[in-house]
Structure 1
Amino acid sequence: MLEFDLEIDGASIRISKFEQENKDLPVLIFLHDSLGCISLWKNFPNQLAETANCNSIVYDRVGYGKSSPFPPKKRDNSYLEKEADILHRIIQELNIEKAILFGHSDGGSIALIAASKYPEQIIGVITEGAHVFVEEITLDGIREAVIAYNTTKLKQALEKYHSDKAEAVFQAWANTWLSNEFRNWNIESFLPSIRCPVLVLQGENDEYGSEDQVSSIAGKVSGASTKKIIPSAKHSPHKETPDIVIKEASEFIRTLRGLRNESAL
């Protein structure tokens, strides 16, 4: 594993890179959720990369983990699209020609927007618990998280990973999603422009989204789509049922490679 910082628009972004002997393999890019970071992925990215025979990159978005703090400007409804633009810059800066995006929750939404806006280097997308519109179940889950943040050791747990940025990380998520302005947030208009294959994963008992999210993504993208509901899992199947997610994701990646010229991969 190699960790380094990449500067984009004056902000430092921490990147963790896993590279096998064959540097020409596709690159799995892991996009964390609204409270996540590199460390919270644990060993899952390496396990999937090794199983699927890919290289991988995990990074902390600005405001998270070991990257720079959030800029002072308040988030607006386009914040996930802006993150997709930054992802595109990272792909360019690191000269990645064949990217497969694995996005969890907010990371899944970012992956979908990026695949829509910047299809040239993205050959496939895997989403896990992604959102494309706001649901009451999502807001209820966030309200419960706010109670937990104020009454349990959740804040201390986040500080372990985000240090003095933990308060800003939590409030940015909760305040944005629970605001009146965000009720109309919707990225379904991006989906028809996605022409690469998409694997849509979601836990059967996801507390932050219904299967309507899955149906919308799988039904509206233009590329081939596969949807998989993970039995008994909640919002983070890669943590709760990693073997199932690795199996589904690696099979999807092998299919991607079969669709392209194997010598080019």
Structure 2
Amino acid sequence: MREGTSFSELDFDGRRVRIEWREIGRDAPPGTPWLVFLHEGLGSAAAWRDFPDRLCAALGWRGLVYSRPGYGRSTPRPADEHWDAGYLHRQAQALLPALLADRGLDPAREPLWLFGHSDGATIALLHAAAFPGVAAGAVIVAPHLWVEDVTLAGLRGARRAYVDGDLRPRLARWHDDPDSAFWGWNGVWLDERFHGWSIVEEVGAIRCPLLAVQGDRDDYGTLEQIRTVARQVPGTVLLELPGCGHVPHRERPRELIAAVASFVARSADPPQSAQHWCT
């Protein structure tokens, strides 16, 4: 059974925001690792569905699932607020540390791991790069390190589906204000000023073990994204999924859970060069 949703009030970006969060296994024994889930650009705490519970159960870990400002039941994005190229950095370097402190998650007492998907994977990378030694490891699924042509094509397709199709009512299932979520995300990524954005060099500062996952039919990015992570961070384990799209935790959940469990078990003695797991 899923545990209930709660809220925290945090200072972020010059204002007070409400953050929706849910914990998994809070009553686990002291020292049990925490896995923090970082959602995609149209995601939320609820949009993960039961995947965090399944993964935490398989690992025997605790979990923290939350919605960033603008998403889910967290404080919506003001209609006149347009996110800029630094929005992912602020999520990684300001909001996430504030939430961890609010929830009392201390990596000095218990290991802290990150699991990020899409924009959330980028946030995980930026957090690990900015705060070496905080995260014990990270799983990054379909990350964005720079803007590709396929990314822009996927964003344009999403905009058509939102304006002319059924994407808006579908997002309303997961967000109190679907316009806040959609236009915040879609607007910044399709802004021409964002097209030169890149975090490739920053990623090189990461020192924790990484499992980088991507499907070869991802319509928001190519396999070159995770292969670049492997070149920048020695020891990165690559999992390339043939026939899989942008959301492996929905398309291939059992395979992904097994891969994460194997990665975690091996992370105590990480390899010195990148490894490929192709399935």
TM over 0.5: yes
Structure 2 counterparts to residues 36-185 of structure 1, below 5 A: 36-71=43-78, 73-85=81-93, 86-96=95-105, 97=107, 98-163=111-176, 165-185=177-197
Does residue 239 (structure 1) correspond to residue 246 (structure 2)? The answer is: no
Identical counterparts, % of pairs? 32
> Contact 2:139/2:213 (CA < 8 Å) preserved in 1?
yes
Aligned partner of 1:6 in structure 2 is 8
Contact 1:2 1:18 (C-alpha < 8 Å) held by counterparts: no
- 1:61: how far off? 0.3
Mapped partners of 1:243, 1:77: distance in 2: 35
Unpaired runs of 5+ in structure 1? 260-265
Once the two structures are TM-superposed, the CA of residue 121 in structure 1 deviates from its matched residue by 2.2
Relative to the length of structure 2, the TM-score reads: 0.88
Matched positions, count: 257
Equivalent residue number for residue 228 of structure 2: 216
For residues 74 and 150 of structure 1, do their structure 2 counterparts lie closer, same or farther at Cα, with a shift above 3 Å needed?
closer
More helix as a share of residues: 1
The question of whether the paired residues in 2 share the 8 Å contact of 1:23 and 1:55 is answered with no
Once the two structures are overlaid, the 10-residue window that deviates more, 14-23 or 108-117, is 14-23
Unaligned runs of 5+ in 2: 271-279
Query: What's the offset of the Cα at 1:258?
Result: 6.1
- 1:233 is paired with a residue whose SS is coil
- Separation (CA, whole Å) in 1 of partners of 2:217 and 2:86: 28
Query: Hey, what does 2:34 align to over in structure 1?
Result: 27
Question: How big is the shift at 1:119?
Answer: 2.2
TM-score, scaled to structure 1? 0.93
Q: Which residue of 1 aligns with 2:23?
A: 17
Separation in 2 of the partners of 1:157 and 1:31?
20
